[in-house]
Structure 1
Amino acid sequence: MNLDNLPVEWSVSQLTKMIASEGLISDGDWIESKDQDEKGDIRLIQLADIGDGDFRDKSNRYMNQDAFDRLNCVELKANDVLIARMPDPLGRACIFPKLPYKCVTVVDVCLIRTGERSAISPKLLKYWINSTQIRNLIALNATGTTRKRITRKKLESFDFPVPPLAEQQEIVRQLDVMLAQVEQIKARLDAIPTILKKFRQSVLESYFNNLASVQQVNLDDLVVSIDQGWSPKCLNTPASAEQWGVIKTSAIQPLYFDANENKELPSNLKPREALSLISGDVLITRAGPRARCGVTCIVDKDYDNLMICDKVYRVRCDSKKISADYLNLYLNSLTGLSLIEKMKTGSSESGMNLTQSKFKELVIPLVSLKQQLAFAKDIKKFFQLANHIEETVQSAQKRVNLLTQSILAKAFSGELTTEWREQHQELITGINSAESLLAKIKAEREASKPAKKTRKKKEV
C-alpha cells in the first residue's frame, strides 16, 4: 500500500497512536483446556468464529465465572475488532456483534477496541485489515515453524492511512453499499454451478427416464472386462509423463476424469501395464464414503503411464453391444445412480462398498447401438453448452474477487472519496483534519498517564 500519495487532509499513524485512552489492544486471554467448562455460561470466541469480514458464530466452548475472574479476562463489547492471528486465512478480521451472553477471546484472536474518541472507525479498521495489501504485510511479518502467527506488536507497528473522521464515515458507507452489491453478485454466480448440475441431470433424465419398455440387459453381458486395480505405497507427488503413476479415487468425478489426481509409482516397483488406461474406459469408484462410492466417469484419452487403484473398477465395453459413452451417461443419470445406490453395502456412511458381483448384475436399458450413439451425441451438445456457461461463470468469479480488492485499494488511497472531499472541505480541514485528531488523542493519552513519583530530598 502506497502511503506517499495520500490526500493532503489525511495522515499516517500506527494503531496505538490512533486509539483513545479507553481503547484496548490485546492478544486475547490465555485460556487453556483446564479453564474450560462445558456447563459454563461465558462463551469462548475462537478462530472458527472469525470470518473473512463476517462474524461466523461457530464455536461452542465455554468457561465459568470463577475462571473468568481468576484469569482477569476481558469481556468483549459490540464493535470490538477481532483479528485471526493464525490461518486460514491469516489476518482475517471481523466486527464482534455483541451476543446475548458474556464472551471472551482466546489467545489466537487479537482484540482491538478503538474507544469512542479514537481516530479510527472500527468498521474502517476491519476493511483495512481485510485488504490484500495488509494481508500480504501480515503474511510477510508472521512467524512460526509449524503454523505462522502474527504478533500483536507487529500489528501495532503497521502504518495506517488515517482519513478525517467524517471522511471515514463516508468511506465506510460507500464500502458497505459497494461490497454488499459485490457479495450479491458472488452469491448469484456461486448458485449457477448447482443450477447447471440440475440442468445436466434433467438432460440425462429426458433420455433415460422412459426406457422401461426397452430390452433390459445385465452389465456383465455387455462388457469385455471389469477389472479392479492396485494400490501400492506410492510417492505423494503426481507422476510426470515419463513416470508411472496410480490414480487416486479423486481422479474420478461425476462425468469427468482428472488425470492430475495420481501418485507416482516408486522406481523399485514394477508397473502393471495391464491396469493402464485407454480412451473409452469407464471408471467407477467401488469403495469409500457413501457420496464417493459409485461415482462414474469415462477416460478421455490414452494414459499409458497411469494405472487404476484398488478402489476403482475399470469397465471395458463390448463395442458391438454398448457404447462406452452411453454407459457412462446412463450411470450418471438419476435412474442409474438410484440403482447403484441400492447395491451399496457397508456398516457406516464413511465405509460403503460396491461389490463386483452386484455391480455385474446392474440392469442396463439397451436401445440399438445407433440410438445409443445418437443419445450420446445429443447429450454432449447440451453438456458443451453447460460447460461453456460454467467456464464463463468461473472467469466472472475471478473478476469479481479482484473487484473487492480493487474497491478496498481505492478506499485506502483516497480515490473512492475524491468528489466527496471536494464538496465537504469544512468537515476535513482545520480542527476536523486527521492530523488535528491524532494530536488531540496523543494529548489525551499523555494526560491519562499516571504522574511519576518524585523522591523527596533529604533534609540536611
Structure 2
Amino acid sequence: MMEVSIPDEWAVIEYGDVLTSVSNGIGGKQNKDGSGIPVSRIETIAHETINFSRVGFIEIYDTNKVEKYKINKGDILFSHINSPTHLGKTAIFDKNRELYHGINLLRLVVNKKCMIARFFNYHCKFSRKAGIFSQNAQHAVNQSSINQKKLSRFKVPLPPLAEQKIIADKLDTLLAQVDNTKARLEPIPKILKRFRQSVLAGAMSGRLTKEWRATNHQNIGDVKPLSVAGKIIAGQSPSRSEVNFDGKGEPYVTGPEQWDGRKILHNKWTEYPKRMAPDGSIFVTVKGAGVGTTFPGCYAAIGRDVYAFVPNEKMNYTYILFAIQASAADVVLKAKGLIPGLTKSNIIDHEIYLPPLKEQIEIVRRVDRLFAHADRIEHQVNQSLARVNNLTQSILAKAFRGELTEQWRKDNPDLITGENSAEALLERIKAERAVKAPAKRRKRSA
C-alpha cells in the first residue's frame, strides 16, 4: 500500500480499528415502481453521492428484521463489487429521508469516538483515486471485488478528532469549489458541438455566404439531389475468415468505430476485398448504432455497413463532406428496420444546397475558420478540465499529509496534545478492542 508522510502528531491505524460495523444489505426481489421500502443499489452511489432517483424498492421483507438495515446519518456505502473503474466508490448518508441498505454495497459504520465519518469517507475517495483499492482487489472478467477482511486492513491516518473535523470542513469547501468549476467547464464541449452544427446548418443553407454573394455579384445556388454531386459505392463484407489483423492485403473499414474524430484507425485488412473505395471518398455509415456517421474516407475495402460517396471533379470535396454531415440527421430519419439501415437512394436522392464551385470554396474557408476557433476553445477547456480533475486528488493528498492544517496545529496545540492527542485516541481504540476481544478458553486439566 502507498506510504504517505504524516505529521508527528498523527498516528496510522487500519480501517478495521475505526469501523464498528461492516455489513451486507437486505436481499429480496426489487422493483422500480416505488412499491415497498427504498433500498440502495450500486448505481445509487455511481456519482459518489446518494442519488434517490436511482434506488430500488422491496415490497416483501421481514418486518421484524428490516430496521437493522435502515441507513443512518454518517453511514457510508462502499462499492466492494464492481468494475475496476468504479470499485471502491463511496457515498456518505447525510439525508433526512428514509433509505435501507440493499445488496451489492457494504455499509460502513465509523466509530465516532475516534474518527469523523466525513474524514474517513474522504480517505476512501483518496485511496480509490490513488489506485490502492484496485491494486489490492481480486479481479475477474469485467469485475473486481474487495472482501471485508482485506478492507479492514487498509491504512488510514489518525489525526486528533478536532483536527479531523477541520480537515473535513476544509475539504467540503475546497472540493465544492472544484465541483463548481467542473460544472461550469463540462457543458462547454456540448455547447461547441451545437455551435458546429449551427455553423454547418447556416453554411449548407447559403446563409453563411449571403453577404459574400452580394459583394461578388453571385446568384444563390440551387437545391439538388446528391446524385448530381457524385456517385455512391455500396460496401460488401468478406467472410470473417478472410479478415486479418496482420496488415496483409488491403486496409478494411467496417464502420465508425475505426474513426477517432481525426483519422481512420487501420486495424483490419483483407486479401479478399469485395468492394473497394477510392481515395477521395466520403464514408457514410448506413447500418447499426452509428447509422448516419459520416467521415473522410480513403482507399480501402469497405464492409456492408459502409457506403462510399465519391464526389465528381466539379465539386469541392470538403464542401460535399460538410453537406452530408450537415444533413446526416435528416437522412437517418429515413432509416428503416429493426436494425436501422439506409439504402443507396436514401443518400443519393437527398437534396442539398449546391452552389457553384467558387461559393463552395468560400463556404469551406469560412467553416474551417469557425471550426478552428471552436477547436482552440475546446482544447483549452479540455486542458482546464484535466487540471481540475487532478486538483481533487492533489487537495486530498495535501489533506492526508497534514498540509491543509499545518498552521492550525501551530495555533491550537491544546487541541492536539494530552487527552486530545492522536496517541490518546489510539489508546482508547486499543482499550475498546481489548474489551471486545473474546476471552481465550483455558485448557482443561487432564
Do both share a fold (TM > 0.5)?
Answer: yes
Instruction: Say which SS state the counterpart of residue 175 (structure 1) adopts.
Output: helix
In the alignment, the residues of structure 2 paired with residue 425 and residue 310 of structure 1 have an alpha-carbon distance, to the nearest angstrom, of 74
Q: Deviations over 1:178-226 (max 9, x none)?
A: 1111112212221111121122123223323347953222211221x20
Matched, 1:399 2:357: no
- The equivalent residue for 1:312 is 306
Post-superposition offset of 1:264 = 2.3
Matched, 1:172 2:172: no
Post-superposition offset of 1:114 = 1.1
Matched, 1:298 2:289: no
The structure 2 residue matched to 1:264, chosen from 265, 268, 271, is 268
Q: Deviations over 1:79-100 (max 9, x none)?
A: 2111101233111111123463
Is 1:171–1:416's contact at 8 Å kept on the other side of the alignment?
A: yes
The structure 2 residue matched to 1:96, chosen from 77, 93, 96, is 93
- The equivalent residue for 1:346 is 336
- The equivalent residue for 1:415 is 403
Residues 226 and 397 of structure 1: CA distance in aligned 2, closer, same or farther (over 3 Å): same
Residues 55 and 160 of structure 1: CA distance in aligned 2, closer, same or farther (over 3 Å): same
- The equivalent residue for 1:138 is 133
Instruction: Say which SS state the counterpart of residue 186 (structure 2) adopts.
Output: helix
In the alignment, the residues of structure 2 paired with residue 134 and residue 315 of structure 1 have an alpha-carbon distance, to the nearest angstrom, of 46
Post-superposition offset of 1:39 = 7.3
Is 1:252–1:296's contact at 8 Å kept on the other side of the alignment?
A: no
TM-score of the pair, normalised by structure 1: 0.83
Residues 96 and 234 of structure 1: CA distance in aligned 2, closer, same or farther (over 3 Å): farther
Instruction: Say which SS state the counterpart of residue 167 (structure 2) adopts.
Output: helix
In the alignment, the residues of structure 1 paired with residue 365 and residue 14 of structure 2 have an alpha-carbon distance, to the nearest angstrom, of 64
- The equivalent residue for 1:390 is 378
Is 2:32–2:55's contact at 8 Å kept on the other side of the alignment?
A: no
Residues 14 and 113 of structure 1: CA distance in aligned 2, closer, same or farther (over 3 Å): same
Residues 142 and 247 of structure 1: CA distance in aligned 2, closer, same or farther (over 3 Å): same
Q: Deviations over 1:366-395 (max 9, x none)?
A: 211111111112211111121122222222
Instruction: Say which SS state the counterpart of residue 416 (structure 1) adopts.
Output: coil
In the alignment, the residues of structure 1 paired with residue 240 and residue 385 of structure 2 have an alpha-carbon distance, to the nearest angstrom, of 36
Unaligned segments of structure 2, at least 5 residues? 208-218
- The equivalent residue for 1:368 is 356
Post-superposition offset of 1:356 = 0.9
Give the counterpart letter for 2:376 in structure 1: H
Is 1:84–1:90's contact at 8 Å kept on the other side of the alignment?
A: yes
Is 1:29–1:73's contact at 8 Å kept on the other side of the alignment?
A: no
Post-superposition offset of 1:450 = 7.6
Give the counterpart letter for 1:325 in structure 2: T
Post-superposition offset of 1:312 = 1.6
Matched, 1:24 2:31: no
Matched, 1:326 2:301: no
Matched, 1:125 2:130: no
Give the counterpart letter for 2:97 in structure 1: P
- The equivalent residue for 2:10 is 10
Q: Deviations over 1:222-245 (max 9, x none)?
A: 21x20111234559x994666644
In the alignment, the residues of structure 2 paired with residue 210 and residue 37 of structure 1 have an alpha-carbon distance, to the nearest angstrom, of 50
In the alignment, the residues of structure 1 paired with residue 36 and residue 418 of structure 2 have an alpha-carbon distance, to the nearest angstrom, of 49
Instruction: Say which SS state the counterpart of residue 256 (structure 2) adopts.
Output: helix
Matched, 1:55 2:56: no
Paired residues, what number? 430
Is 1:3–1:12's contact at 8 Å kept on the other side of the alignment?
A: no
Post-superposition offset of 1:407 = 0.8
In the alignment, the residues of structure 2 paired with residue 97 and residue 65 of structure 1 have an alpha-carbon distance, to the nearest angstrom, of 26
Give the counterpart letter for 1:295 in structure 2: T
Residues 37 and 399 of structure 1: CA distance in aligned 2, closer, same or farther (over 3 Å): closer
For residues 165-314 of structure 1, the aligned pairs below 5 Å read: 165-210=161-206, 214-223=221-230, 225-232=231-238, 234=240, 239=245, 244-251=250-257, 256=261, 258-260=263-265, 264-265=268-269, 270-272=272-274, 274-276=275-277, 278=279, 280-289=280-289, 292-299=290-297, 302=298, 304=299, 306-314=300-308
Instruction: Say which SS state the counterpart of residue 440 (structure 1) adopts.
Output: helix
In the alignment, the residues of structure 2 paired with residue 363 and residue 374 of structure 1 have an alpha-carbon distance, to the nearest angstrom, of 20
Q: What value does the CA root-mean-square deviation take over the aligned residues?
A: 3.3
Residues 69 and 411 of structure 1: CA distance in aligned 2, closer, same or farther (over 3 Å): same
Post-superposition offset of 1:451 = 7.5
Residues 403 and 243 of structure 1: CA distance in aligned 2, closer, same or farther (over 3 Å): farther
Instruction: Say which SS state the counterpart of residue 353 (structure 1) adopts.
Output: coil
- Shifted more, 430-439 versus 73-82: the winner is 73-82
Residues 40 and 69 of structure 1: CA distance in aligned 2, closer, same or farther (over 3 Å): farther
Residues 248 and 170 of structure 1: CA distance in aligned 2, closer, same or farther (over 3 Å): farther
In the alignment, the residues of structure 1 paired with residue 425 and residue 400 of structure 2 have an alpha-carbon distance, to the nearest angstrom, of 18
Matched, 1:46 2:41: yes
Identity of aligned residues (%): 28
Residues 238 and 400 of structure 1: CA distance in aligned 2, closer, same or farther (over 3 Å): farther
Is 1:164–1:428's contact at 8 Å kept on the other side of the alignment?
A: yes
Is 1:218–1:363's contact at 8 Å kept on the other side of the alignment?
A: yes
Post-superposition offset of 1:59 = 3.8
In the alignment, the residues of structure 1 paired with residue 32 and residue 308 of structure 2 have an alpha-carbon distance, to the nearest angstrom, of 53
Post-superposition offset of 1:404 = 0.9
Residues 148 and 238 of structure 1: CA distance in aligned 2, closer, same or farther (over 3 Å): farther
Instruction: Say which SS state the counterpart of residue 198 (structure 2) adopts.
Output: helix
Is 2:204–2:352's contact at 8 Å kept on the other side of the alignment?
A: no
Is 1:48–1:58's contact at 8 Å kept on the other side of the alignment?
A: no
TM-score of the pair, normalised by structure 2: 0.85
